[in-house]
Structure 1
Amino acid sequence: MAQLEMITDRQRAVLDLVVQHWTSKEIARELGISPNTVDQRINAVRTKLGARDRAETARLYAELNGIFIASVAIRGPFRNCFRSSHSSISCRGEWKSC
Structure 2
Amino acid sequence: MHDLGIIGGVVVDGTASARFEANVYVRDGRIAKITPDREDARAEIDATGLIVSPGFLDVHTHYDAQAFWDPTLSPSSFHGVTTVFGGFCGFSIAPLTPETAPY
Fold equivalence (TM over 0.5): no
TM-score range, shorter chain: under 0.3
**More RCO (CA 8 Å, sep 6+):** 2
- Structure showing greater Rg: 2
Higher helix residue share: 1
TM-score by length of 2: 0.23
